[in-house]
């Protein structure tokens, strides 16, 4: 089973092509961290058979793509197997090669269709190989690939021992081998299960257009830290507006005029750099803080955002959720790397309801909300982090998941200072005072 292909919570990237990170948690399964080690590989002896394999593999993927392109339904693996397995095996592929090929072809077709693109035409030489079809000897840094028609290829990994060392306690389950500009590259996917430490505090995070608000609460509901980070959303938006302006001006021709296309690519590149740099930095600082406070990190589940009024349609259209997802991905990844627990809650109502009595809040003045029933008053972001805490508590602490008293108080009990002097309410308690 390939998480790279089949998990929509998968994000691939990381500082150009140094390595790729994938983090996911499937309900009911233990959380894992996945990393890809990307390295150059040097074939021992002739590379003819390996190249032959890569060409055959590419042509086979293309063949499956061609056949299923016209079918307007999502094909199950079972059906794909029935349609292509025998054919692929007769071409010389091993059982798991065949499976990787049709699953990969299907994912290509599906993503091309969902992007409204054309039928994919494969040029690059690249193959996804299942763990049954390779042997990895980390001590000697040698990879043996099982190719078509019982051929084998031995490759020496060209990387430092220190880089490899990290993965010795991990399991690996899949790799991608590529031929690019006369060189072979492999990305080997490693996986490690994480055993979250028992949290002593709850860190809740609210993402907004201009800033990220982070709050740390004790399990008893006391606010111990509140912090804001500015986001580069406006800067990103400026580049986005530039791209759209150019595309409107050259509505029909921007794809074909070299200079225009280049200008668009430049803005796109800026957006990518700004957003990844930011996400990495935030992920790191948030996770460091969470580690310091022994927090469980609570995020909004962006898949359930539709109902949330703070991100209306026009806003989503402007920026999409991709940037939030990227930030969350980095926070989640960095937290899990530090063996911290990460939980997502449904954000519905978190930015509009009173954290004290659950009534709908009204806007008092810019960004400040007030409750007509109980008089609670608070900044929009603060309301959100308090509500996220409240939801986490009612869902996770009350049913005793973490073994905490089921009557954990609501966040309002000690944070009502919110309505008065903000700085006072946000007085920071050092982590050692908590324990």
The binding site for Zn ion (CB under 5 A) comprises 354, 356-357, 359, 371, 373-374, 376
Q: What per-residue string of b and e applies to 360-385 under the rule 16 or more CB within 10 Å gives b?
A: ebeeeeeeebbbeeeebbbbbbbbbb
The nearest distance, CB 412 to Zn ion, in angstroms, is 8
The nearest distance, CB 241 to Zn ion, in angstroms, is 39
For Zn ion, the closer of residues 318 and 410 by Cβ is 410
The nearest distance, CB 415 to Zn ion, in angstroms, is 13
The nearest distance, CB 354 to Zn ion, in angstroms, is 3
Six token digits for residue 70: 């016209």
The nearest distance, CB 374 to Zn ion, in angstroms, is 3
The nearest distance, CB 211 to Zn ion, in angstroms, is 24
The nearest distance, CB 413 to Zn ion, in angstroms, is 13
In 3D space, the residue among 416, 409, 343 whose CA is nearest the CA of residue 377 turns out to be: 416
For Zn ion, the closer of residues 325 and 359 by Cβ is 359
Cβ within 8 Å of residue 172, ≥6 positions away: 131, 136, 188, 189, 190, 191
Residue 266: how many other CB atoms lie within 10 Å = 13
For Zn ion, the closer of residues 377 and 426 by Cβ is 377
For Zn ion, the closer of residues 87 and 419 by Cβ is 419
Residue 203 to residues 55, 61, 219, 296, 434: CA-CA distances in angstroms? 50, 45, 10, 6, 14
Spatial separation of the C-alpha atoms in residues 198 and 176, rounded to whole Å: 36
CA angle 425, 430, 431 (to 5 degrees): 120
Spatial separation of the C-alpha atoms in residues 383 and 372, rounded to whole Å: 15
Which helix (H) or strand (E) is 157 found in, with range?
strand 152-158
Spatial separation of the C-alpha atoms in residues 344 and 298, rounded to whole Å: 6
In 3D space, the residue among 91, 66, 106, 108 whose CA is nearest the CA of residue 147 turns out to be: 91
For Zn ion, the closer of residues 96 and 370 by Cβ is 370
Using DSSP, state whether 286 is helix, strand or coil.
helix
The nearest distance, CB 356 to Zn ion, in angstroms, is 4
For Zn ion, the closer of residues 227 and 391 by Cβ is 391
For Zn ion, the closer of residues 267 and 356 by Cβ is 356
Spatial separation of the C-alpha atoms in residues 423 and 382, rounded to whole Å: 13
Placement of tokens 């200072």 in the chain: 417
For Zn ion, the closer of residues 240 and 359 by Cβ is 359
Cβ within 8 Å of residue 277, ≥6 positions away: none
For Zn ion, the closer of residues 189 and 376 by Cβ is 376
Residue pair 226/426 in contact by the 8 Å Cβ criterion:
yes
Residue pair 317/197 in contact by the 8 Å Cβ criterion:
no
The nearest distance, CB 408 to Zn ion, in angstroms, is 19
Residue pair 186/38 in contact by the 8 Å Cβ criterion:
yes
For Zn ion, the closer of residues 319 and 357 by Cβ is 357
The nearest distance, CB 391 to Zn ion, in angstroms, is 16
For Zn ion, the closer of residues 425 and 434 by Cβ is 425
Spatial separation of the C-alpha atoms in residues 354 and 375, rounded to whole Å: 9
Spatial separation of the C-alpha atoms in residues 175 and 187, rounded to whole Å: 5
Burial status of residue 96 (CB atoms within 10 A of its CB: 0-12, 13-18, 19 or more): middle
The nearest distance, CB 361 to Zn ion, in angstroms, is 7
Spatial separation of the C-alpha atoms in residues 283 and 205, rounded to whole Å: 12
């Amino acid at each position: 089973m390939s998480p790279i292909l089949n998990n929509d919570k998968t994000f691939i990237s990381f500082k150009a092509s140094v390595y790729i990170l994938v983090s996911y948690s499937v309900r009911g399964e233990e959380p894992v961290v996945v990393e890809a080690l990307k390295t150059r590989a040097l074939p021992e002896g002739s590379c003819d058979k390996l190249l032959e394999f890569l060409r055959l593999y590419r042509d086979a993927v293309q063949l499956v793509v061609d056949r299923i392109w016209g079918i307007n339904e999502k094909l199950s693996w079972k059906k794909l197997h029935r349609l292509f397995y025998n054919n692929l095996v007769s071409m010389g592929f091993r059982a798991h090669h065949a499976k990787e090929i049709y699953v990969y072809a299907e994912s290509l077709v599906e993503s091309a269709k969902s992007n409204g693109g054309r039928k994919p035409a494969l040029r690059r030489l690249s193959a996804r190989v299942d763990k049954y079809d390779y042997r990895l000897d980390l001590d000697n840094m040698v990879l043996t690939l099982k190719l078509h028609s019982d051929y084998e290829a031995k490759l020496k990994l060209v990387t430092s021992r220190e880089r490899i060392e990290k993965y010795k306690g991990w399991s690996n389950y899949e790799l991608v081998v590529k031929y690019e500009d006369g060189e072979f590259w492999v990305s080997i996917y490693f996986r490690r299960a994480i055993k979250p430490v028992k949290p002593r505090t709850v860190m809740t995070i609210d993402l907004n257009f201009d800033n990220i608000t982070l709050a740390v609460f004790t399990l008893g509901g006391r606010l111990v830290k509140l912090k804001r980070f500015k986001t580069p959303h406006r800067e990103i938006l400026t580049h986005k507006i530039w791209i759209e302006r150019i595309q409107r001006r050259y509505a029909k021709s921007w794809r074909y005029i070299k200079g225009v296309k280049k200008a668009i690519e430049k803005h796109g590149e800026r957006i990518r750099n700004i957003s990844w740099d930011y996400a990495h930095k935030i992920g790191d600082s948030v996770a460091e803080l969470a580690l310091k406070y022994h927090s469980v990190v609570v995020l909004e589940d962006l898949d359930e955002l539709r109902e949330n009024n703070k991100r209306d349609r026009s806003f989503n259209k402007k920026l999409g959720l991709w940037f939030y997802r990227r930030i969350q991905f980095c926070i989640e990844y960095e937290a899990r790397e530090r063996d911290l627990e990460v939980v997502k809650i449904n954000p519905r109502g978190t930015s509009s309801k009173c954290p004290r009595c659950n009534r709908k809040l009204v806007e008092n003045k810019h960004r400040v909300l007030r409750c007509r029933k109980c008089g609670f008053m608070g900044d929009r972001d603060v309301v959100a982090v308090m509500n996220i805490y409240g939801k986490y508590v009612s869902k996770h602490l009350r049913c005793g998941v973490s073994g905490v008293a089921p009557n954990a108080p609501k966040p309002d009990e000690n944070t009502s200072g919110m309505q008065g002097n903000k700085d006072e309410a946000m007085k920071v308690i050092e982590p050692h005072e908590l324990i």
